[in-house]
Amino acid sequence: MELSPRSIAFILILFISYFFCFGVAVDCGGKNVSYIITVGRSDKVTFRTIQVAIDSIKSNNDQWVKIHIKAGLYIEKVHIPLEKPCIILEGEGSQTTIISFSDHSSFKQGTSQSGTFISSSSNVIASDITFKNSYNIDDKGSNQILPAVAATIYGDKSFFFRCSFVGYQDTLFDVGGRHYFKDSYIQGEVDFIFGNGQSYYENCLINAIGRNRKLPGFVTAQSRDSSNDPGGFVFEGGSVIGNGEVNLGRAWRAYSRVIFHNTNFSSIVTPQGWNAASYGGQENKFTYAEVDCKGPGADTSKRVPWTKKLSSSQMKEFSLASFINKDSWLDNLPTISQ
């Protein structure tokens, strides 16, 4: 069978991720920040671009380094390479610190590489920043709609706080590893949270922009591919809003897993809620669940019959502590300013 560019990219990503996971663990020196780099447009900064600031950090870094990014619009692609863990990107507010670029997938370039922000390393923190891919957003319909990623996240132990991810198709490529998104904003319409991260989304605002009024969109396309795979997306609290219609998810792999708990659904959520995509007949392998959700879109009476009913004891497996923080890595991160 011929592989699509997305499938080829995903295989390469898994190889890279597994390679790094078997490497030496890094604790980044606990909660201490070794030094701070400042990026901005004024004369009183260390660097004027974010990528040059990242490039200045030594390879195999084992102490937290903070890059403080002053308010402004940064038109650049930003990559944290595999060999540079322990980096903090700190903005001055997601409304004012914006990293934006216009790029898309092509025959020569896979979906993941279209990302405005690509984080390959483990132990990465970002706060108060917008990551935007403007390809399908600012062109006013002049370009063909193509996968255009705002952020591609490979590395284990990645934390995003008060960040925004803005795109249309394939906004957030949540590739693999343990990721924590808190108090963040994610915008798109087609598969706009996708991949196989072992990820926890707490109090996030999910905005389905609904540009195509003829076809409902998809919030998630989760790609867990075996019953032993730890991957999955857990949404705790937060809201799904927007216009048009949107499904909560469709399967990218046979054991796709997405759970919404205590989330508010606006009326844009379709009655069926979920889609098997190309895995019709294997729906018993999926874990799609809505637990204690509320709002006009939370009526499950017309949902597809293969959604899961999870008990309170089963839900404990998908708590923050159990799902991504068994080794307490979140408790040992440097304090983020409020």
Q: Which residues are catalytic?
A: 170, 191
Q: Among 236, 245, 293, which Cα is nearest to 270's? A: 245
**CB atoms inside a 10 Å sphere around CB 309:** 9
Find all residues with CB under 8 Å of 301, minimum gap 6, and list them. Answer: none
Strand (E) positions, 162-308? 164-166, 172-174, 178-182, 185-188, 193-195, 198-202, 205-208, 217-222, 232-236, 239-242, 246-251, 257-261, 264-265, 274-275, 287-291
Beta bridge partners of 74: 99
Q: How far is CA 104 from the centre of its chain?
A: 17
Helix (H) or strand (E) holding 235: strand 232-236
Q: Which two tokens stand for residue 296?
A: 């006009």
Radius of gyration of the chain (CA): 19
∠ CA(60), CA(63), CA(67), 5° rounding? 95
How far the first Cα of the chain sits from its last, in Å, is 51
Measured CA to CA, the distance from residue 235 to residue 68 in angstroms comes to 29
Q: What is the DSSP letter of 9?
A: H
Give bridge partners of residue 233 from the DSSP assignment: 199, 258
Helical ranges in the chain per DSSP H: 5-21, 50-55, 312-316, 320-323
The residue type of 320 is: L
Handedness of CA 275, 280, 282, 283 (dihedral sign): positive
